[in-house]
Chain A
Amino acid sequence: MPVDLDNSSTVSGEASVSSTGNQQNPLPKSAAKKKRNLPGMPDPDSEVIALSPKTLLATNRFVCEICNKGFQRDQNLQLHRRGHNLPWKLRQKSSKEVKKKVYVCPETSCVHHDPSRALGDLTGIKKHFCRKHGEKKWKCDKCSKRYAVVSDWKAHSKICGTKEYKCDCGTLFSRRDSFMTHRAFCDALAEESVRNHTHSKKQSPEILTRKKHVPDPESLTGSNPTASSVAPVETRSAKIISPRAINTKRPESPKTPREILQEAQEPTGGLNGVFFESSSASPSIYASPSCSQSLFAPSSSIEPIALGLSASHGPSFLCSTRFPAQPAMSATALLQKAAQMGAASSGGSLLRGLGIVSSTSPSVDSLVPNGLALGLPCGGESSSGLKELMMGNSSVFGPKQTTLDFLGLGRAVGNGGGGGGGPGSTLIGPRGSSIDALATFGSGEFSGHDIGRRTS
């Protein structure tokens, strides 16, 4: 294997150019100082070695001078040399004291090309050169990431696909810190919409009308992920969220935040990528105290805001005696309520009452009072039971087909027969036992009316 001449000189000496490759002449002088080994600052006394790219990329750096066999490690070379039965003199390594060597990157445009930024480790400089200036020959087979250095590739393959954290929105993360940051962002979105309803951004819709917006002033360059904290979400001034502006924000489209996370070699404080940056920088959207809460808040469905009506089923029938004092319930809520009532009267599972159109048909006849501790006497209604219904809060179960008196006129028809008097209305068919639906509508004003005490 051909040997490349190494270009080496002391820090204070001059350079001699190497024989092959695009090797530059990088070496300056520096004063002799005491030995230091601070990272990033090479020992000024150390010997600066500028290797050519070919040398750096070569796999067998150590070559036996006798037979020209190449080895990756010096120890292996020495072992091999023993086999040549060298005379004593030649067997020893050169006796000059070992000088500390530092290496510079042969690529002129690189930061580490300057000897004052030389790297102290040969393996390090080789890896650096491959990573930054080399071709990415190794590709992960599970995802599409490519690597120039074999060890990077191996390390990634081990963790590729073994994601551990999953956000409620479905995104997977292999790192805890990025997961946490995302969760703050993601849940905060959901939580904030509930919490900041009162002082939320009431942007007037006109913002999105024909006025043309200036493209978003912030410029996101891919090479600057940490600095562009601007919080696209920060100020309200329709800066961002118009569909046009959003599309202008992201010049390099392929990078998703997740990829940024994965590719960033040095996470800055655990927050990578613009989105997560902005989460800490924009208190207007998620106040940080609420951030932490929202990290642990379950991202359950947001209850309709204007509803005082509890969406729970059975118990609500038991406990709510009157309507919430809202001026108007939303239509959705009304429908749900109606469905609940329907479900209740059919005696089926209360949970069915959520408006499932094709509920497995609860046959109206086979009503089984659910035994949900409703305090109803099963199977018979006595007037006292009905009174409980009327005054109290139980729900509307009945053993047979129920006909509810809307707004509660109790037509208690016990097993025996019609309630006396009463505006002769209620008996519906042969099955009529009517149960007062008063409780569910619960308003006090009707209880005054109705008192339909029927004695059976």
Chain B
Amino acid sequence: MVTMFQEDNGTSSVASSPLQVFSTMSLTRPTLIPSPSSPFKDLKPEERGLYLIHLLLTCANHVASGSLQNANAALEQLCLLSSPDGDTMQRVAAYFTEALANRILKSWPGLYKALNATQTNNVSEEVHVRRLFFDMFPILKVSYLLTNRAILESMEGEKMVHVIDLHASEPAQWLALIQAFNSRPEGPPHLRITGVHHHKEVLDQMAHTLIEEAEKLDIPFQFNPVVSGLECLNVEQLRVKTGEALAVSSVLQLHNFLATDNSGHSPSGDSASSLPLSNSGKIDRFLNAIWGLSPKIMVVTEQDSDHNGSTVMERLLESLYTYAALFDCLETKVPRTSQDRMKVEKMLFGEEIKNIIACEGCERRERHEKLEKWSQRIDLAGFGNVPLSYYGMLQGRRLLQGYGFDGYRIKEESGCAVICWQDRPLYSVSAWRCRK
């Protein structure tokens, strides 16, 4: 039996991209035929990698067009070839395979729910994984650097500063800010930080760390925890007072607001010219609420990839590139045997991939979009862009150099910073002020 994937379906495939065409190539491997068991041993890694890509695309095609038998066959092959502790492509393929399988499974919702019924949410694991992400990648470090710098610069001369962190999980960011404020020439301001998070323990820990530091440096400081999911946040809870200068920091949070049930999204992969933006009332309401607080500066860090296409094929193609890049980063920095690396890959990226590929509608929260679209959206909500300063960008670059994060680059795009791996943009940082 020859494993051959014949592509005739035009129903769900979009304008064919090169990768898609690649998937239409027939693959034959005669030595495969006789023995279904471990026929892949003599494949070279590159060939295996290419085969994996082919299989993934094929499988996705089948899933999209509903031909589940073929999809099943593809999944079997994928399972044979991919592995969460192999090389980069194998790992990526493993998580995508799982995501595709989940997608198929979701057509039996009861089955899906039953299988996931006993999954528990381990808060400390989540926190741990997030910290691993902070350690293993420079992305959050650079983001915090740029955020703090933007805040510092905009708060020049201010005596009362209030910072709102929309996902307060990493104390390192605010420790740095406290120290920076401490050494400004006009002395530290009266600083208040409000942290929003849905787990109280995280906020407690953060409060403890920050207050300790502030006391050490003798800075007037207050930490206000707000235990709430971001989507159900009421801005009243943030207790913004008049007379204080407000800064808002959002790190990888805004895209969750794009999750919506209606698919009013214009299906196009070309983000350059796309207006209308995907309409989700939630994001606009949220941005408006923030605008209503008149922040002096709002710094937004987001993924810079188009993972919000309306078809799963689009999303698969884009996210393959993105996560391949992210997994490559890990490969160059962390040994393959590292358990921590597996954790990040599985619990952070794996979950994101699963969400992007398998979920739809309100469940699909990892709706990453390109910087351009975010800029449009934020601009429409009444914010004006504040270009990141030369000094900030310089510091960001030096950070990347200093820790041997080879392969990463920061480039500037209309006043915003884009962190890239080789040439692939991954994350963007931009600063905004309230425009009246």
A79 to B25, CA, bound (A): 97
Provide the B370-401 mask, 1 if CB < 8 A to any CB of A, else 0.
Answer: 00000000000000000001110111011111
User: Could you say which residues of chain B place their CB within 8 Å of the CB of A353?
Assistant: 18
Query: How many Å lie between the Cα of A443 and that of B412 in the bound state?
Result: 41
A interface residues, how many (CB within 8 angstroms): 98
A356 & B18 in contact (Cβ 8 Å cutoff):
yes
* Selected contact of A342 from candidates B2, B18, B153, B156, CB within 8 Å: B18
Note all chain B residues with C-beta closer than 8 A to A248.
179-180, 182-183
- For B331, the chain A residues whose CB sits under 8 A away are 330
Query: Does B6 lie within 8 Å of A429, measured CB to CB?
Result: yes
Contact indicator B406/A193 (Cβ below 8 Å): yes
Instruction: State A147–B341 Cα separation when bound (angstroms).
Output: 57
Q: Report whether A331 and B49 are in contact in the complex, using a CB–CB cutoff of 8 Å.
A: yes
Interface flag for B144 (CB, 8 Å): yes
Q: Is A258 an interface residue (CB 8 A)?
A: yes
Whether B318 pairs with A357 at a CB distance below 8 angstroms is: yes
Pick the interface stretch among B69-77, B84-92, B161-169, B348-356.
B84-92
Contacts of A384 in B (CB 8 A): none
CB neighbors of B among A318-338 (8 A): 323, 327-332, 334-335, 337-338
Docked CA distance A189–B152 (Å): 25
Contact with A along B18-31 (1 / 0, CB 8 A): 11111111111111
Neighbouring A residues of B321 by C-beta, 8 Å: 332, 335, 355
Chain B residues whose C-beta falls within 8 Å of the C-beta of A332 in the assembled complex? 321, 324-325, 328, 421-422, 424
Known contacts A253-B152, A338-B19, A425-B2; A358 and B269 CB within 8 A of each other: yes
Contact with B along A210-227 (1 / 0, CB 8 A): 101001000000100000
Interface size class of B (residues with CB under 8 A): 35 or more
Which residues A166-196 have CB closer than 8 A to chain B? 169-171, 186, 189-190, 192-194
Among B40-48, B196-204, B281-289, the stretch that binds chain A is: B40-48
Query: A360 contacts which chain B residues (CB < 8 A)?
Result: 15
How would you classify the secondary structure of chain A's contact residues: helix, strand, loop or mixed?
A: loop
Kindly list the 3 A-B residue pairs having the minimum CB-CB distance in the complex, ordered from nearest: A247-B180, A342-B22, A331-B324
* Chain A residues in the interface with B (C-beta under 8 A): 169-171, 186, 189-190, 192-194, 197, 200-203, 205-210, 212, 215, 222, 232-233, 236, 240-244, 246-248, 250-254, 256-258, 275, 285, 301-306, 323, 327-332, 334-335, 337-343, 345-346, 352-362, 364, 402-407, 409, 411, 423, 425-426, 428-429, 434, 437, 441, 443, 449
Q: Which residues of B approach A to under 8 Å, CB–CB? A: 2, 4, 6, 8, 14-31, 33, 44-47, 49-51, 53-54, 87-89, 92, 131, 134-136, 141, 144-145, 148-149, 152-153, 156, 172-173, 175-177, 179-180, 182-185, 213, 268-270, 306, 314, 317-318, 320-321, 324-325, 327-328, 331-332, 389-391, 393-395, 397-404, 406-407, 409, 412, 421-424
